[in-house]
């Protein structure tokens, strides 16, 4: 069982991070788009220091910088300001102060693989080959008037775009409005590092770094080899446009910069399906503090499906870094509440999933609204805003279904805004909303809240080691989290039927001796005692968390 290294576990290891999609969280000025003052008005909901609030430890804000919004903020035209849609820098400073007063850390999104095509650096770069900014981007004169290679663009029909003024193509593997920067240019690098300093100097607590494994491209711009796969991005082996070895050196430098400020951190979005690749960006503890593992986003329901991913992630990390887990994000066409829906069982499934996320060894990243069970909105073609949806309709509907306004109450637009929101509210906001759930001890919101506070108070859960008891499991996940002389046993029944959990025997290190007490459970009273060394009957979708109170340590 591995705990964080050193005595003092860091806040970004023990805490719970809550992702806010700013356009959709709370509209403070009535224009239909969420903003910073809207977020400020909801900080008490997130954590007011008491167990009446959700209790999260940090908010990660998807990009709030000025942007033409071709990719909803992931195309930045000014790295040192706030988009007027969200407010201004004074509002941001207020948000920081108000969040810090409540012990909520603030994590910014750092999108430095590409800028907007409207960023002054790119506008300059297009003026001429001699322009000092020209080499800040990735250019190629092409081959026989065509693109130089076969690289793939996620949101557009091609990755290379011609600029007459310089008689060259620029690279954008997202959409044409997101030109990619040249990290080999020392002046570009210094300018980006200054951006990183700028927000750290203002007091932000960390960064979520966008597509970290795309930063450096093959110097010779070689074509990727093809492979037999049906879905577009996968029909190439991305060996020349991603995960280039030099990226690790860059990550080490970013780490040093971030670490030169006390108590800050960076979590990388490593855009990959491979846990090994994601793990490689921890370096030897000298690259990123954390990397996302998106495996759960793609797993079907089932104890063994999830446990296999936990195991693969642990093996890939090999104790050199602290894991992260997440079930939903702004990048998925679907929220996990919908992904795992099964008629009347949906809500109980959401609880099992939340209990897993909040009790595994690692930092949980929640996505706004999952705590009340927000689900996907069915989007008509004419409502689509997301470039991904525009490109792949009707095969993919894009990411809008999971970006709808937060559902605060049952009033029109879910209390998110007095105006018509930029994306329609999910019609179920009349029932599924914070107002309805906050006073109800049996609601999903109360479930998250209770578990988050329990996690905070229980070192074994927020920083302890982890050991799976049954591998591979059938219906039930069973693991022990331990810190010092405290052990907590987590039992999660992923089946809708009653199952028997039989403790493993003959391990020679049986952790289940002694007396155990219920800390949290869907079907049993808190504080009741339990003998967990014999078989336990678990109800359908039962969540049971027990702590050893005496006996073996
Ligand atoms: C990954 C971000 O999470 C996604 O939202 C964005 O579209 C791409 N990077 C491009 O920045």
pLDDT of 508 > 80? The answer is no
Q: Give φ, ψ of 299 to 5 degrees.
A: -90, 140
Residue 335 sits in the same domain as residue 223: yes
pLDDT in tens, 355-411: 999 999 999 999 999 999 999 999 899 999 999 999 888 888 899 999 999 999 999
pLDDT of 151 > 80? The answer is yes
Which residues form the domain of 200? 15-115+185-404+438-455
Q: What is the 3-state secondary structure (H, E, C) of 370-437?
A: HHHCCCCCCCCHHHCCCHHHHHHCCCCCCCHHHCCCCCCCCCHHHHCCCCCCCCCCCHHHHCCCHHHH
Which atom in ligand 1 lies closest to the alpha carbon of residue 155? 7
Which residue has a Cα nearest atom 6 of ligand 1? 74
Residue 267 sits in the same domain as residue 386: yes
Which atom in ligand 1 lies closest to the alpha carbon of residue 330? 5
Which atom in ligand 1 lies closest to the alpha carbon of residue 174? 10
Report yes or no on 3 lying in a domain: no
Mean pLDDT score, 80-86: 98
Residue 553: predicted pLDDT: 43
Task: With beta carbons less than 8 A apart as the criterion, state whether 20 and 368 touch.
Answer: yes
Report yes or no on 424 lying in a domain: no
Mean pLDDT score, 436-441: 97
How far, in Å, is the centroid of ligand 1 from the Cα of 219? 23
Residue 232: predicted pLDDT: 79
Mean pLDDT of the chain: 95
Give dist(CA 42, CA 425) in Å, integer.
Answer: 18
Of the candidates 275, 210, 211, 214, the residue with the CA atom closest to the CA atom of residue 244: 214
Residue 155 sits in the same domain as residue 192: no
SS3 call for 92: helix
Between 471 and 430, residue with greater pLDDT: 430
pLDDT of 40 > 70? The answer is yes
pLDDT band (50, 70, 90) for residue 514: confident
Report yes or no on 416 lying in a domain: no
Task: With beta carbons less than 8 A apart as the criterion, state whether 239 and 226 touch.
Answer: no
Could you give the percent of the chain with pLDDT greater than 90? 89
Residue 486 sits in the same domain as residue 517: yes
What CATH number has the domain bearing residue 163? 3.90.400.10
Residue 337 sits in the same domain as residue 356: yes
Last residue of a domain, one of 429, 455, 481: 455
Give Dmax over CA atoms of the chain in angstroms: 77
Which residues form ligand 1's pocket by a CB distance below 6 Å? 71, 74, 111, 174, 210-211, 269, 330-331
Mean pLDDT score, 286-298: 96
Which residue has a Cα nearest atom 10 of ligand 1? 74
Residue 503 sits in the same domain as residue 392: no
Range scoring the smallest mean pLDDT among 401-405, 461-465, 472-476: 472-476
Instruction: Tell me how many domains the chain contains.
Output: 3
Task: With beta carbons less than 8 A apart as the criterion, state whether 41 and 87 touch.
Answer: no
Report yes or no on 310 lying in a domain: yes
How far, in Å, is the centroid of ligand 1 from the Cα of 269? 9
Residue 479 sits in the same domain as residue 511: yes
Residue 501: predicted pLDDT: 94
Out of 71, 75, 175, give the residue to mutate to test ligand 1, the one with the largest number of ligand atoms within 8 Å of its CB.
71
pLDDT of 56 > 80? The answer is yes
Out of 74, 212, 297, 333, give the residue to mutate to test ligand 1, the one with the largest number of ligand atoms within 8 Å of its CB.
74
Question: Catalytic residue numbers?
Answer: 210, 269
Could you give the percent of the chain with pLDDT greater than 70? 97
Report yes or no on 426 lying in a domain: no
pLDDT band (50, 70, 90) for residue 471: confident
Residue 551: predicted pLDDT: 56
Evaluate if pTM is beyond 0.85: yes
Residue 196 sits in the same domain as residue 318: yes
Report yes or no on 427 lying in a domain: no
pLDDT in tens, 229-262: 877 788 899 999 999 999 999 999 999 999 999 9
Of the candidates 540, 456, 347, 302, the residue with the CA atom closest to the CA atom of residue 310: 302
DSSP E strands, 239-378: 265-268, 290-291, 324-326, 363-367
Which atom in ligand 1 lies closest to the alpha carbon of residue 74? 11
Residue 367: predicted pLDDT: 98
Report yes or no on 410 lying in a domain: no
Report yes or no on 129 lying in a domain: yes
Residue 280 sits in the same domain as residue 198: yes
Residue 137 sits in the same domain as residue 282: no
Residue 178: predicted pLDDT: 98
Which residue has a Cα nearest atom 3 of ligand 1? 331
pLDDT of 466 > 70? The answer is yes
Residue 388 sits in the same domain as residue 470: no
Between 223 and 472, residue with greater pLDDT: 223
How far, in Å, is the centroid of ligand 1 from the Cα of 154? 10
Residue 512: predicted pLDDT: 84
Range scoring the smallest mean pLDDT among 66-70, 74-78, 234-238, 458-462: 234-238
Out of 174, 176, 209, give the residue to mutate to test ligand 1, the one with the largest number of ligand atoms within 8 Å of its CB.
174
Residue 97 sits in the same domain as residue 134: no
pLDDT in tens, 154-180: 999 999 999 999 999 999 999 999 999
What CATH number has the domain bearing residue 337? 3.20.20.80
Give dist(CA 281, CA 267) in Å, integer.
Answer: 10
How far, in Å, is the centroid of ligand 1 from the Cα of 142? 26
Burial of 229 (0-12, 13-18, 19+ CB in 10 A): exposed
Which residue has a Cα nearest atom 11 of ligand 1? 74
Which residue has a Cα nearest atom 4 of ligand 1? 331
What CATH number has the domain bearing residue 499? 2.60.40.1180
């Amino acid at each position: 069982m591995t705990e964080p290294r050193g005595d003092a576990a860091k806040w970004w290891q023990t805490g719970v991070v809550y992702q806010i999609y700013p356009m959709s969280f709370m509209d403070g000025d009535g224009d239909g788009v969420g903003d910073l003052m809207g977020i400020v008005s909801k900080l008490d909901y997130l954590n007011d220091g008491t167990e009446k609030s959700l209790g999260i430890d940090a908010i990660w804000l998807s990009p709030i910088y000025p942007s033409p919004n071709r990719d909803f903020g992931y195309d930045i035209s000014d790295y040192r300001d706030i988009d007027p849609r969200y407010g201004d820098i004074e509002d941001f400073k207020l948000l920081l102060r108000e969040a810090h007063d409540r012990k909520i850390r603030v994590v910014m999104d750092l999108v430095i693989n590409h800028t907007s095509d409207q960023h002054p650096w790119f506008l300059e770069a297009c003026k001429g080959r001699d322009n000092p900014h020209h080499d800040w981007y990735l250019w190629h004169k092409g081959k026989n008037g065509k693109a130089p290679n076969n690289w793939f663009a996620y949101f557009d029909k091609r990755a290379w775009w011609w600029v007459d003024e310089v008689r060259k193509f620029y690279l954008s593997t997202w959409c044409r409005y997101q030109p990619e920067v040249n990290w080999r240019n020392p002046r570009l690098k210094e300018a980006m590092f200054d951006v990183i300093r700028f927000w750290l100097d203002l007091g932000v607590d960390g960064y979520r770094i966008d597509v970290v494994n795309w930063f450096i491209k093959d110097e010779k711009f070689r074509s990727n080899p093809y492979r037999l796969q049906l879905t577009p991005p996968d029909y190439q082996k991305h060996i020349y446009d991603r995960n280039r070895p030099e990226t690790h050196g860059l990550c080490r430098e970013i780490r040093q910069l971030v670490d030169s400020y006390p108590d800050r951190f960076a979590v990388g979005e490593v855009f990959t399906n491979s846990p090994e690749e994601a793990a490689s960006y921890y370096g030897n503890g000298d690259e990123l503090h954390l990397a996302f593992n998106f495996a759960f986003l793609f797993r079907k329901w089932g104890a063994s499906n999830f446990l296999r991913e936990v195991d693969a992630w642990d093996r890939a990390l090999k104790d050199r870094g602290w894991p992260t887990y997440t079930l939903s994000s702004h990048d998925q066409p679907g929220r996990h509440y919908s992904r795992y829906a099964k008629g009347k069982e949906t809500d109980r499934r959401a609880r099992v999933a939340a209990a897993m996320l909040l009790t595994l060894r690692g930092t949980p990243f929640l996505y706004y609204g999952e705590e009340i069970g927000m689900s996907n909105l069915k989007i008509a073609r004419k409502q689509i805003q997301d470039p991904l949806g525009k490109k792949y309709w009707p095969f993919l509907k894009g990411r809008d279904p999971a970006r709808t306004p937060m559902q605060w109450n049952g009033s029109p637009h879910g209390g998110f805004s007095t105006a018509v929101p930029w994306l329609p509210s999910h019609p179920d906001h009349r029932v599924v909303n914070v107002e309805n759930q906050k006073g109800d001890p049996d609601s999903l919101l109360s479930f998250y809240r209770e578990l988050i506070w329990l996690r905070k108070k229980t070192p074994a859960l927020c920083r302890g080691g982890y050991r799976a008891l049954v591998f591979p499991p059938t219906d039930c996940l069973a693991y022990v989290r331990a810190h010092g002389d405290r052990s907590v046993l987590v039992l999660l029944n992923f089946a809708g039927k009653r199952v028997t959990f039989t403790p493993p025997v003959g391990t020679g290190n049986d952790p289940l001796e002694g007396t155990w007490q219920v800390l949290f459970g869907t079907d049993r009273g808190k504080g009741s005692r339990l003998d967990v060394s014999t078989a336990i009957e678990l109800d359908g979708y039962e969540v049971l968390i027990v702590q050893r109170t005496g006996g073996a340590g």
